[in-house]
Chain A
Amino acid sequence: MCNPQKLLEIIDLHVSIEDKKILKGINLTIHRGEIHALMGPNGSGKSTLANALMGHPAYRVTKGKVIFKGQNILKMSPDERARLGLFLAFQYPTAIPGVTVSNFLRTAVNSVRNEEINVLDFHKRLNEKMKMLAMDKSFTKRYLNDGFSGGEKKQSEVLQLVMLEPEMVILDETDSGLDIDALKIVSSDINKVMNENMGMLIITHYVRILQYIKPQFVHILFNGEIVESGDYSLAEHLEEKGYNFIMNEEQN
Chain B
Amino acid sequence: MAANEVPKIGLDKYKYDFKNPENYYFRVQKGLSREVVQTISEMKNEPDWMRQIRLRALEIYNKKPIPKWGGNLDDIDFDDIYYYIKPAEKMGKSWDDIPRDIRETFDKLGIPEAEQKYLSGVGAQYESEAVYHSLRENLKKQGVIFLDMDSGLKQYPDLVREYFGTVVPTGDNKFSAMNTAVWSGGSFVYIPEGVHVDIPLQAYFRINARNMGQFERSLIIAEPGSYLHYIEGCTAPIYSEDSLHSGVIEIIVKKGARIRYTTIQNWAPNVYNLVTQRAVVYEDAVMEWVDGNIGSKLTMKYPAVFLKGRGARGEILSMSYAGKGQHQDAGAKAVHLAPDTSSNIISKSISSNGGRASYRGLVKVSKNADRVKSNTRCDALILDDISRSDTYPYMEVDNATARISHEATVSKIGDEQLFYLQSRGLTENEAMALIVRGFVESIVKELPMEYAVELNRLIELQMDGSIG
* Chain A residues within CB distance 8 Å of chain B: 54-58, 60, 77-79, 81-83, 87-88, 90, 93-94, 96-99, 103-104, 107-108, 111-112, 143-144, 160, 164
Contact = CB atoms under 8 A, between A and B. Distances in A.
A167 to B, nearest CB: 13
B1 interface: yes
B438 A108 contact: no
Contacts, number: 89
Given A58-B3, A99-B441, A79 B415 contact: no
A144 B435 CA distance: 11
29 contacts: A54-B419, A55-B422, A57-B1, A57-B2, A58-B3, A58-B415, A77-B422, A77-B427, A78-B422, A79-B422, A79-B428, A79-B431, A82-B422, A82-B424, A83-B425, A90-B420, A90-B423, A94-B414, A94-B419, A96-B417, A96-B435, A97-B441, A98-B438, A98-B441, A99-B435, A104-B421, A104-B434, A108-B425, A108-B426
B48 interface: no
A86 B414 CA distance: 22
What band does the interface of chain B fall in when counting residues whose beta carbon is under 8 Å from A? 20 to 34
B201 interface: no
A149 to B, nearest CB: 18
Contacts of B431: 79
The SS class assigned to the B binding surface is helix
Q: 3 closest Cβ contacts across the A-B interface?
A: A98-B438, A98-B441, A111-B425
B419 A56 contact: yes
Contacts of A83: 425
Contacts of B1: 57
B450 interface: no
Nearest to A92: B416
A47 B437 CA distance: 30
B430 interface: yes
B442 interface: yes
Given A57-B3, A58-B4, A112 B438 contact: no
Contacts of B106: none
Contact of B425 (A57, A82, A99, A103): A82
A66 to B, nearest CB: 15
A12 B415 CA distance: 27
B3 A96 contact: no
Interface string B353-381: 00000000000000000000000000000
A108 B423 CA distance: 9
Contacts of A107: 426, 430, 434
Contacts of A90: 420, 423
A82 B430 CA distance: 14
Contacts of B427: 77, 79, 111
B440 interface: yes
Nearest to A160: B424
A94 B426 CA distance: 15
Nearest to B417: A94
B78 interface: no
A134 B423 CA distance: 25
A99 B426 contact: no
